[in-house]
Chain A
Amino acid sequence: MAKVLEGPGMGLMKKWGIHVPHYAVVTSADELSKLGHVNDWMKQSQLVAKAHEALGSRFKLGLVKVGLDLTGAVAATKDMIGRQVGSIMVSQVIVSEMIAHKEEYYCAVKSTREGSEILVANCGGIEVESNWDRVKRLCLDVGQVPSHEALEKLAKEAGFTGALAKKMADFAGKMFSCFDSEDAQYLEVNPVVTRASDGELVALDAVTLLDGDAKFRHPDWNFAFAAEFGRAYSKQEEEVMAVDSKIKGSVKFIEIPGGDTAMLPAGGGASVYYSDAVVARGGKLANYAEYSGDPPDWAVEVLTEKVCSLPGIKNIIVGGAIANFTDVVKTFGGIINGFRKAKAEGKLKGVKIWVRRGGPREKEGLDAMRALKDEGFDINVFDRNTPLTDIVDKALQK
């Protein structure tokens, strides 16, 4: 899943024939005033300015301003750009025309196991969440394209009548084309509104989740994916992502401020069980991390350095199941180098390290870890005979 911000999301919808308001994404108030000189809609319409970042509850934070004229939008942009919200600094603002409307509707397309589902409701905005039973669905098998009749039937079920039912069916059909052609996993427009000027249905907002794995067949995806975390990635996280994009196998790292138990486990499946075990024991995770698919030792070393740099940690969990083909000696070599570097930099004081692992060359790998004790590390090493998450129990024993 890869989240796309509103601007590029609207761009994709426009590509597939969906009416969207005029909009522009700007990085400064200056840019906006210059655009105002050449774009009539900016002068003629009432405008909305929103911080163009992966942030929840923008309204509450004062990062959405409505009913502005161009001067007001420029002022709002000036005010928003550079604002710090948690770890996110607002660097872009999306300015769009306000569409005068009365009714609000809802339309979404989501991925299902069999194919997809088109959702339509004749209520919209925040109303839709409290009236979830008014949302009607059309289920489609993968490869199946909805007929106009089926879409119209869906619109009618949702309570649309007459010409509006036809328009909603047409809108939902375009949403499906966009979803299917752009390898989307979730598309949502809330609200869909009737534009007073010409009676066309317009998408006022766009939630777009694309399948990042399909990027290879979409050369026109020239936008960056947004953090799904509701916050920007930290520098450390971005550095690990940069390593991840370069290697065979993978390394992942997410910081969770305030925790004291640092995770350095192997494998996408096992790592979650390790995190579960920490939480179940009442521990506080300092991060989520994993490495898998036999990554090169230097990549594991980078990951280790990041983990060791987490503030306030008391334990590091180097957990792992029995690997299929990840070389334990090699990947542990990366971890050991990372530990040594961290120690040389004065880190890891009072930090206990807990190791459990199996897999190719497990004995040599575990022996190398054990030998760290002689270098003054507070390290406890266990082999496959210790059940997977027992090291967490030992680490968090009071």
Chain B
Amino acid sequence: MSILANKDTRVVIQGGAAGVNAARRMAEFCYLIKRPLNVEAFVYPPDAGKSNEVPYGSGLIAIPVYKTIAEATKNHPTINTSLVYIGADRAMKGGMEALDDTHIKVVTMITEGVPEKDAKILGAHARKLGKVFNGPSSIGIVSAGSCRLGVIGGAFDNLVLSKLYREGSFGVITKSGGLSNEIIWICSQFADGITTAIGIGGDAYPGTDYVSYLEMFENDPQTKAVVIVGEMGGDLEERAAEWYGAKKRRVKLMAVVSGFCQESLPKGMKFGHAGAKEGLKGEGSARSKSDALKKSGAIVPPTFGALGPAIKDVYQELLKTGQVKEPVEPAALPKLPKSIEAAMKADEVMVTPLIRTTISDDRGDEPCYDGYPASELINKGYEIPHVVGLLWDKRLISKQEAEIIKRIMMLSADHGPCVSGALGTIIAACAGIGLSQSVAAGLIMIGPRFGGAVTDAGRFFKHAVDNKMTVDEFLTYMKKNHGPVPGIGHRVKSLRNPDKRVKELVGYVKSLPIKTPCLDFALQVEQVTAAKKDNLILNVDGTMAAVLVDIGFPVDSLNGFFILSRTIGLIGHWVDQKRQGSRLIRLFDYLVNYAAPKRREVPPLK
């Protein structure tokens, strides 16, 4: 058997992330002892209506989250225990809510730093209702082979090493979370293990005292001895001694008390738990507690290290008198499934990747672009065009090429508010749409009739150059197969009203000692087309395209230059409209040619 927590314990956890973590640990224990998960619900108002996923073995269990304890117990009437993980400032309210629910008999508060007064009120309220309020600052409660509440017992390996998968004969009550595991481990190493271990909490006035648990252990026939881990401060150990000495008890009591060092340390030094403080005139000192326990007949080893052998002595005595039998270890225990990450680390599985990347990797302390750490690029003087080169063409471009790209981006960053892209963004901004969506509204305009001619222009100029076409051959080929030449022609610019940006870019590129076959070809095409009609000039798209092909960028990346640079302008337009507090746009009637039928009578419905 066990006390407080057993196979019938059904739990609601009050709290967020820490509570979910506890549920995961509890699920590991349930998996080890081959029982269904004992957590039925969470109460955490911010997440009410959602569910938390808890791994159980290799599966996942969804545990619903409720706003109140009442909702949780209404939907899960088997709940009888609450674990409180909510913050110290709200812990009392949460604890009260749990205690006041008729379904709940045990409340264990894990929260640390709960005001003393709140803990006392909770403790008193629980006593009035005949319930158990354990904690605050409790590490939890574990009953070997049947139930774990909280993270007590530690990691899965430790649960196995400490034989918590099956019942032993020793009860444990501690104030310290870390030491609870230590004692459980000692009980499994020197004896047959534990029945129940309780973290009573390290505060000065925990909700429940040693005596209430000693009574419960006394009434649990499986428990043959109880180990108390005490500390200086308060009087819980003295009360335990009083209880033990009052009459003949069935359970053996063993105890260690910490704080002897205080006798030789400077006065007033406070350490360990909040409850570890000395009272007046040696009351509550480790020595007076130890003495009281010894006097009551409890076994009090001189040091913590001597506790193991003392437990061993008690266990051997129990064996000899036939009160306990040697435990039977199960033939096999469930193994906690490894996570994929752990299994891969141990070279146990191979996983076929879902996607493949060849350009970037951010798994280290900073992203690497095509293998080069971003900060190193910065510190060695590389600039944005080099990042474009690395991510779009997987090569470290030259300073000269970077300068060309920089100029292209600057020249095409914005073309005013009237072009389709900017207009799309402005309309969206005026409608109150957010930045990314508004910019996207502008970007989706980029296509064959707006900006998106760069890729096509590059592709056809390159085709012509690669195939050594003459201008006439090229124009004939285009007319026959594709229609107008992308990159040629402008809505407002013409020979008489030239585009300065094109002139600038061509002039700069031609001033460099590089070969520009595509650009040269495009300029020859312009001569022919512009002679036919004066606005069939080489436009910005076509110029960018030819130059970028000449410096080796892949044809498929070319529209990217337009998208990238134009994004700068589109963000500007969104911010501009936002800053002005622009109102919703409605197109004026006079800007629409209403070519729809005139008003007429609606015929009767047939």
Which A residues lie at the B interface, using CB under 8 A?
1, 111, 113-115, 141-143, 180, 183, 185, 211, 213-214, 216-217, 228-230, 252, 254, 256, 266-273, 275-280, 285, 288, 290, 292-293, 320-326, 358-361, 384-385, 387-390, 393
State whether B115 touches A324 (Cβ < 8 A): no
State whether B267 touches A230 (Cβ < 8 A): yes
| Known A269-B175, A322-B181, A324-B154; contact A185-B116, beta-carbon cutoff 8 A | yes
Chain A interface, DSSP helix/strand/loop, else mixed: mixed
Kindly state the separation between the CA atoms of A325 and B159 in the bound complex, as whole angstroms: 12
State whether B124 touches A114 (Cβ < 8 A): yes
Kindly state the separation between the CA atoms of A58 and B176 in the bound complex, as whole angstroms: 37
The stretch that binds A, out of B302-310, B362-370, B545-553, is B302-310
Kindly state the separation between the CA atoms of A137 and B276 in the bound complex, as whole angstroms: 24
Kindly state the separation between the CA atoms of A269 and B272 in the bound complex, as whole angstroms: 6
- CB contacts (< 8 Å) of B276 on chain A: these are 268, 272
Give min CB distance, B160 to chain A, whole Å.
Answer: 13
Could you list some 13 contacts between A and B, CB below 8 A? A111-B204, A113-B234, A229-B268, A268-B272, A269-B174, A270-B179, A280-B260, A288-B265, A290-B272, A292-B178, A322-B182, A324-B154, A358-B185
State whether A270 touches B176 (Cβ < 8 A): yes
- CB contacts (< 8 Å) of B234 on chain A: these are 113
State whether A213 touches B154 (Cβ < 8 A): no
| Known A143-B121, A183-B117, A390-B305; contact A228-B272, beta-carbon cutoff 8 A | no
Q: Which residue of B lies closest to A142 (CB)?
A: B120
Q: Is B152 an interface residue, CB under 8 A from the partner?
A: yes
Give min CB distance, B309 to chain A, whole Å.
Answer: 9
State whether B181 touches A279 (Cβ < 8 A): no
Q: Ordered nearest first, which 8 A-B pairs have the shortest CB separation?
A: A269-B176, A267-B178, A321-B182, A214-B115, A322-B181, A275-B261, A272-B258, A142-B120
Looking at the complex, which one of A271, A361, A385 makes contact with B272 (CB distance below 8 Å)? A271
- CB contacts (< 8 Å) of B42 on chain A: these are none
- CB contacts (< 8 Å) of A271 on chain B: these are 271-272
State whether B182 touches A183 (Cβ < 8 A): no
State whether B271 touches A267 (Cβ < 8 A): no
Looking at the complex, which one of B115, B117, B256, B271 makes contact with A290 (CB distance below 8 Å)? B271
| Known A254-B271, A272-B261; contact A322-B154, beta-carbon cutoff 8 A | yes
Kindly state the separation between the CA atoms of A1 and B277 in the bound complex, as whole angstroms: 9
State whether A324 touches B178 (Cβ < 8 A): yes
Kindly state the separation between the CA atoms of A326 and B176 in the bound complex, as whole angstroms: 14
State whether A269 touches B88 (Cβ < 8 A): no
Q: Which residue of A lies closest to B186 (CB)?
A: A387
Looking at the complex, which one of A114, A216, A266 makes contact with B178 (CB distance below 8 Å)? A266
Kindly state the separation between the CA atoms of A211 and B88 in the bound complex, as whole angstroms: 13
Kindly state the separation between the CA atoms of A293 and B185 in the bound complex, as whole angstroms: 20
Looking at the complex, which one of B153, B258, B277 makes contact with A273 (CB distance below 8 Å)? B258
Q: Which residue of B lies closest to A328 (CB)?
A: B155
Kindly state the separation between the CA atoms of A67 and B7 in the bound complex, as whole angstroms: 72
Q: Which residue of A lies closest to B177 (CB)?
A: A324
- CB contacts (< 8 Å) of A388 on chain B: these are 182, 304-305
State whether A267 touches B177 (Cβ < 8 A): yes
- CB contacts (< 8 Å) of A213 on chain B: these are 88, 113-116, 274
State whether B117 touches A269 (Cβ < 8 A): no
Q: How many residues of B contact A (CB 8 A)?
A: 69
State whether B114 touches A276 (Cβ < 8 A): no
Kindly state the separation between the CA atoms of A213 and B189 in the bound complex, as whole angstroms: 38
State whether A276 touches B116 (Cβ < 8 A): no
Looking at the complex, which one of A180, A279, A288, A320 makes contact with B271 (CB distance below 8 Å)? A288
Kindly state the separation between the CA atoms of A390 and B256 in the bound complex, as whole angstroms: 16
Chain B 242-285 against A: per-residue CB contact (8 Å), 1 yes, 0 no? 00000000000000101111011111111111101100000000
> For A111, A113, A143, which residue has the most chain B Cβ atoms within 10 angstroms?
A113
Kindly state the separation between the CA atoms of A330 and B548 in the bound complex, as whole angstroms: 50
Chain B 134-173 against A: per-residue CB contact (8 Å), 1 yes, 0 no? 0000010000000000011111001001000000000000
Looking at the complex, which one of A183, A216, A324 makes contact with B152 (CB distance below 8 Å)? A324
Kindly state the separation between the CA atoms of A254 and B185 in the bound complex, as whole angstroms: 30
Which B residues lie at the A interface, using CB under 8 A?
21, 25, 88-89, 112-118, 120-121, 123-124, 139, 151-155, 158, 161, 174-182, 185-186, 189, 202, 204-205, 209, 229, 231-232, 234-235, 256, 258-261, 263-274, 276-277, 286, 302-305, 308
Kindly state the separation between the CA atoms of A323 and B308 in the bound complex, as whole angstroms: 18
- CB contacts (< 8 Å) of A273 on chain B: these are 179, 256, 258, 304
Kindly state the separation between the CA atoms of A142 and B165 in the bound complex, as whole angstroms: 41
- CB contacts (< 8 Å) of B256 on chain A: these are 273
Give min CB distance, A70 to chain B, whole Å.
Answer: 34
State whether A1 touches B274 (Cβ < 8 A): yes
Give min CB distance, A258 to chain B, whole Å.
Answer: 10
State whether B114 touches A268 (Cβ < 8 A): no
Kindly state the separation between the CA atoms of A288 and B266 in the bound complex, as whole angstroms: 11
- CB contacts (< 8 Å) of A272 on chain B: these are 231-232, 258-259, 261, 271-272, 276
State whether B121 touches A142 (Cβ < 8 A): yes
State whether A268 touches B202 (Cβ < 8 A): yes
Kindly state the separation between the CA atoms of A115 and B122 in the bound complex, as whole angstroms: 12
Q: Which residue of B lies closest to A386 (CB)?
A: B305
> For B114, B117, B154, which residue has the most chain A Cβ atoms within 10 angstroms?
B117
Looking at the complex, which one of B88, B153, B258, B270 makes contact with A1 (CB distance below 8 Å)? B270
> For B139, B186, B305, which residue has the most chain A Cβ atoms within 10 angstroms?
B305
Kindly state the separation between the CA atoms of A122 and B209 in the bound complex, as whole angstroms: 35
Looking at the complex, which one of B205, B260, B271 makes contact with A113 (CB distance below 8 Å)? B205
Q: Which residue of B lies closest to A217 (CB)?
A: B89
